[in-house]
Amino acid sequence: MTDSPLYKEELRQFIKTALDEDVGRGDLTSLATIPADQTLSAAMVARENMVIAGMFLAVEIIKTCDPLARIEVIAADGLEVVANSVILKVTGNAQKLLTAERTALNILQHLSGIATLTRTYVRRIEHTDCRLLDTRKTIPGLRKLAKYATRMGGAMNHRMRLDDGVLIKDNHIARIGSIKAAIAAAKAHDTAASTIGITVECDTLDQAADAVEAGADRLLLDNMNNAQLRTAVEQYKGRVKLEASGGVTLDTIREIAETGVDYISVGRITQSAPAVDIGLDYLD
């Protein structure tokens, strides 16, 4: 199984929070209707084609509720499965498994939805050298997991946090007065921890020229049309890294990648991915 993107304590706290939210003081229905010593066997089934992400969390949630449960993972994270595939089997205490069911399915469906949508975007550009990037457009508290899911779908993680890199945007430039001044200030600051060097968001080719001249390492070409992107590639590829961004969809990403940019960042893969359909079918 793929290693968890969460530290041990982060994982424990996430599961505790999720179960506390769903279970409260106890699963009244299961406690009232299911004998305490009854066991059951069940299978998680993919109801549609999908890429799995978050299986490790589903397993840990089940184990937290029933430490003695016997679990067989059939589809690990990153695996693409077809509709009606069994992805996990479990046997354990009936009350405890019923308590774990919704929480385990919720996170698995959400993260697999992100991975599935990501894989769809990746497939549109796999004939090019362009890489798909995720963004910081994630649900607060779920960023590590959402970005883990994009990796399972084939994307490359962009900045995890603001301390990961210098990205000079329009508001920074407006406040300090110019791209040149913003880059000079960044170079004067301790930016050794930046994983992306000094990146400048450019809305126009004139801004791109200013950023390259001032010493930017990377250009974020925001909402440029394909003709503008091709011009930027012709003038700057090899000198700086080029990232296209803004309003990218499944219908437009192929042509954007074919302009020759190095990266395309897409907020939709974490911000708008629909959950996939996974069921837990009881076998006895």
Name the catalytic one among 222, 241, 243, 262. Answer: 222
Per-residue model confidence (pLDDT) at position 3: 72
Same domain, 222 and 207: yes
In whole angstroms, what is the distance from residue 279 CA to residue 284 CA? 15
CATH code of 261's domain: 3.20.20.70
For residue range 68-83, list pLDDT tens digits in order: 999 999 999 999 999 9
144 is catalytic: no
Name the catalytic one among 123, 131, 137, 230. Answer: 137
Same domain, 163 and 237: yes
Q: Which amino acid is at 249?
A: T
137 is catalytic: yes
Specify if 3 maps to a domain. Answer: no
Specify if 2 maps to a domain. Answer: no
Specify if 27 maps to a domain. Answer: yes
Name the catalytic one among 89, 102, 131, 268. Answer: 102
CA 131 to chain CA centroid, Å, is: 14
201 is catalytic: yes
Q: Is 242 exposed, middle or buried (0-12, 13-18, 19+ CB in 10 A)?
A: buried
Same domain, 200 and 70: no
In whole angstroms, what is the distance from residue 213 CA to residue 207 CA? 10
Find residue 86's DSSP bridge partners.
Answer: 45
Specify if 264 maps to a domain. Answer: yes
Same domain, 118 and 134: no
Specify if 222 maps to a domain. Answer: yes
Record the tokens describing residue 113, joined without a space.
Answer: 């939805």
Q: Do 226 and 254 form a contact (C-beta atoms < 8 A)?
A: no
Name the catalytic one among 60, 134, 201, 210. Answer: 201
Same domain, 86 and 103: yes
Q: The domain containing residue 112 runs over which residues?
A: 8-122+273-282
Specify if 1 maps to a domain. Answer: no
Find where tokens 């003709």 sit: 227
Residues in the chain predicted with pLDDT less than 50, given as ranges, are none
Same domain, 164 and 60: no
Same domain, 135 and 266: yes
9 is catalytic: no
Per-residue model confidence (pLDDT) at position 190: 74
Per-residue model confidence (pLDDT) at position 152: 98
SS3 per-residue string spanning the chain: CCCCCCCHHHHHHHHHHHHHHHHCCCCHHHHHHCCCCCEEEEEEEECCCEECCCHHHHHHHHHHHCCCCEEEECCCCCCEECCCCEEEEEEEEHHHHHHHHHHHHHHHHHHHHHHHHHHHHHHHHCCCCCEEECCCCCCCCCHHHHHHHHHHHCCECCCCCHHHCEEECHHHHHHHCCHHHHHHHHHHCCCCCCCCCEEEEECCHHHHHHHHHHCCCEEEEECCCHHHHHHHHHHHECCEEEEEECCCCCCCHHHHHCCCCCEEECCHHHHCCCCCCEEEEECC
Specify if 234 maps to a domain. Answer: yes
203 is catalytic: no
Same domain, 231 and 104: no
CA 121 to chain CA centroid, Å, is: 13
Total tally of structural domains belonging to the chain: 2
For residue range 206-247, list pLDDT tens digits in order: 999 999 999 999 999 999 999 999 999 999 999 999 999 999
Same domain, 32 and 162: no
Record the tokens describing residue 236, joined without a space.
Answer: 């700057």
Same domain, 158 and 93: no
Specify if 248 maps to a domain. Answer: yes
In whole angstroms, what is the distance from residue 211 CA to residue 226 CA? 20
Q: How many Cα atoms occupy the beta-carbon half-sphere of 19 within 13 Å?
A: 25
Same domain, 143 and 247: yes
Q: Do 144 and 42 form a contact (C-beta atoms < 8 A)?
A: no
In whole angstroms, what is the distance from residue 203 CA to residue 175 CA? 17
Same domain, 263 and 277: no
Per-residue model confidence (pLDDT) at position 2: 60
Name the catalytic one among 169, 206, 213, 239. Answer: 169
CATH code of 72's domain: 3.90.1170.20
